[in-house]
Amino acid sequence: MNFTPLWTAALNAFSNFIIVDEHCRIAYMNKPYTEILNVQLEDVIGKPIKSVIPTTKLPEVMASGKAHIGALMTLYDHKTGKDISFVCNRIPLIEDGEVIGGVAISTFNEVGEIYNLYSEVEKMQQQNELYQQTIEQLRKQTNPLDYIIGTSQAIQQIKSTIAIFANSGLSILLTGETGVGKEVFANALHQLSSRSTSNFVKINCAAIPKDLLESELFGYEGGAFTGAKKGGKIGKFELADGGTLLLDEIGEMPLPLQSKLLRVLQEKEVERIGGVTPIKVDVRLICNTNQNLTQLIQDGRFRADLYYRINTIELAIPPLRDRLDDIPDLCNFFVQKFNRENGSYTQGVEQEVLALMQQYIWPGNVRELEHVIERLCFLNPHSTIGIASCDFLLNKLSGDHTLSRPAAAFSSLQEQRSSAEIDLIRQTLRQTDGNKAKAARILGIDRTVLYRKLKKYHID
């Protein structure tokens, strides 16, 4: 092959440059390439490329008709006695729709470093895939409803409603006092739905300044307002596309934003602030509130039409005092949680303490119980939690509950419970002729608890 010196110099400027004919036989190889392979050009011309370079991918490229651009290849360099890596392009030569040959050319030389990074990235991608598979398997093994602790009738009822509606895509409103676990139930709803592999986006309407809430929810285009980020910002609605959006403390949403939210829900598309084109979104909405929305509607602070749009299904989570049966399971769960987190070995909560806990009104609900257990675990890192470390709980019990009673209806419930307790204690004492130890045994409570109750209710 006779090239002018200029052509030869140009072709030798690459570490490898090779041309093959339609049968994958070598038609040309530049000098640097022959040196790397330690061959003579005249010996390899006309030979099948695979017989000279066994690792070549050029035949595959020709068979598929699809080029490899930016591929990495490694060869043993006979000149230096080391492996050498290139970034190369492999291109099929096509004329009138027929592959008439192929060409491979290096685009970067000496890319050992890039190659290492590439292998690292590849390794991480493989690891990531493995993690994804493991997460998926774990997700399949664990029923998301198992993360909701409690077997009281109320909780069982809510769990079965969640199981029925999780996959429906209907909007759900979770109501209940602070700390009852609305977020725990919202999580289960998302995890149990077919949307669980997409985003679960949460936004707390009370925690974000009112004038920022709109841009957080709907996003904005670059330069939409002073201080806006140059490239704009994606909103939570877009982020939750295909998944679930949890609007926490929805009762705190300002009225003008409520109108915009209603429009978005009806039209299923959002418009970023300063944007002109609406963006289609497929979002399942869950709203949480510890406020009485009907009261807010009456006060003119919440739109009735939005309320009817978001409460297609309303799940009212009862306060802990109305499901005292859940206390032992919750205590056990939190003890184990703190043991895991702190490396401690608290054994559990004694019956007597559980009985005490079941007399308290828990204005802060499960969250308050969790903190109480945290404190008790800290005090009893290696033993069971007994009455001896419960002074602060007794103080809570003897405190003025009316101050922390969140619902008026509760006052009568608590009074009824106290009055029933007084009757039962009096009756048992009469039965035992005033023998307190015997009465405590019959009542299934510790003697100290009975003494405390006698004092509390002023029973002689």
Ligand X SMILES: Nc1ncnc2c1ncn2[C@@H]1O[C@H](COP(=O)(O)OP(=O)(O)OP(=O)(O)O)[C@@H](O)[C@H]1O
Helix count (H) and strand count (E) of the chain? 21, 14
Half-sphere CA count of 421, side-chain side, radius 13 A: 21
Tokens 């009281």 correspond to what residue? 152
Tell me the three-class secondary structure of 241-267, residue by residue.
Answer: CCCEEEEECHHHCCHHHHHHHHHHHHH
Contact window for Mg ion (CB under 5 A) among 72-80, 177-185, 306-314, 411-419: 177-185
DSSP secondary structure letters along 13-56:
TSS-EEEEETTSBEEEE-HHHHHHHT--HHHHTTSBHHHH-TT-
| Smallest distance from Mg ion to CB 278, Å | 31
| Smallest distance from ligand X to CB 190, Å | 13
CB neighbour class for 437 (10 Å; exposed up to 12, middle 13-18, buried from 19): exposed
In terms of DSSP bridges, do strands 172-175 and 284-289 run parallel, antiparallel, or are they unpaired? parallel
CA separation for the pair 153, 286 (Å, rounded): 23
| Smallest distance from ligand X to CB 353, Å | 19
Q: Does 314 bind Mg ion (CB under 5 A)?
A: no
Q: Which CB, 24 or 285, lies closer to Mg ion? A: 285
CA separation for the pair 27, 450 (Å, rounded): 102
| Smallest distance from ligand X to CB 172, Å | 14
| Smallest distance from ligand X to CB 306, Å | 19
**Cβ atoms of 338 and 373 closer than 8 Å:** yes
Q: What residues line the site for ligand X (CB under 6 A)?
A: 148-150, 176, 178-184, 288, 290, 333, 366-367, 370
SS3 228: coil
Residue 344 contact partner, candidates ligand X, Mg ion, none, CB within 5 to 8 A by sort of partner: none
In terms of DSSP bridges, do strands 26-29 and 17-21 run parallel, antiparallel, or are they unpaired? antiparallel
Residue 219 contact partner, candidates ligand X, Mg ion, none, CB within 5 to 8 A by sort of partner: none
Q: Which CB, 249 or 350, lies closer to Mg ion? A: 249
CA separation for the pair 270, 233 (Å, rounded): 13
Q: Which CB, 183 or 352, lies closer to Mg ion? A: 183
Residue 73 contact partner, candidates ligand X, Mg ion, none, CB within 5 to 8 A by sort of partner: none
**Cβ atoms of 352 and 386 closer than 8 Å:** yes
Residue nearest to Mg ion (CB): 183
Q: Which CB, 229 or 371, lies closer to ligand X? A: 371
| Smallest distance from Mg ion to CB 288, Å | 6
Residue 176 contact partner, candidates Mg ion, ligand X, none, CB within 5 to 8 A by sort of partner: ligand X
Q: Where are the alpha helices (DSSP H) in 253-364?
A: 255-267, 293-298, 304-310, 326-342, 351-357
Residue 370 contact partner, candidates ligand X, Mg ion, none, CB within 5 to 8 A by sort of partner: ligand X
In terms of DSSP bridges, do strands 200-204 and 244-248 run parallel, antiparallel, or are they unpaired? parallel
| Smallest distance from Mg ion to CB 185, Å | 10
Q: Which CB, 44 or 213, lies closer to ligand X? A: 213
Residue 75 contact partner, candidates Mg ion, ligand X, none, CB within 5 to 8 A by sort of partner: none
Q: How far is CA 428 from CA 207, 419, 435, 452, in A?
A: 52, 14, 9, 16
Q: Which CB, 270 or 366, lies closer to ligand X? A: 366
| Smallest distance from ligand X to CB 90, Å | 56
Q: Which CB, 91 or 184, lies closer to ligand X? A: 184
Contact window for Mg ion (CB under 5 A) among 113-121, 179-187, 260-268, 323-331: 179-187
Size of the site for Mg ion (CB under 5 A): 1
| Smallest distance from Mg ion to CB 186, Å | 8
CB neighbour class for 70 (10 Å; exposed up to 12, middle 13-18, buried from 19): exposed
Which residues within the stretch 249-278 sit at the binding site for Mg ion (CB under 5 A)? none
Q: Which CB, 40 or 151, lies closer to ligand X? A: 151
Specify the DSSP element, H or E, that contains 218: helix 210-218
Query: Greatest CA span in the chain, whole angstroms?
Result: 124
Contact window for Mg ion (CB under 5 A) among 181-189, 405-413, 426-434, 447-455: 181-189
Q: Which CB, 178 or 432, lies closer to ligand X? A: 178
| Smallest distance from Mg ion to CB 201, Å | 15
Q: Does 183 bind Mg ion (CB under 5 A)?
A: yes
Contacts of 64 (CB under 8 A, 6+ apart): 92
Residue 354 contact partner, candidates Mg ion, ligand X, none, CB within 5 to 8 A by sort of partner: none
Q: Which CB, 183 or 322, lies closer to Mg ion? A: 183
| Smallest distance from ligand X to CB 185, Å | 7
Tokens 């004694």 correspond to what residue? 350
Q: Which CB, 17 or 338, lies closer to ligand X? A: 338
Kindly list the residues in this chain that would bind Mg ion in the complex (CB under 5 A). 183
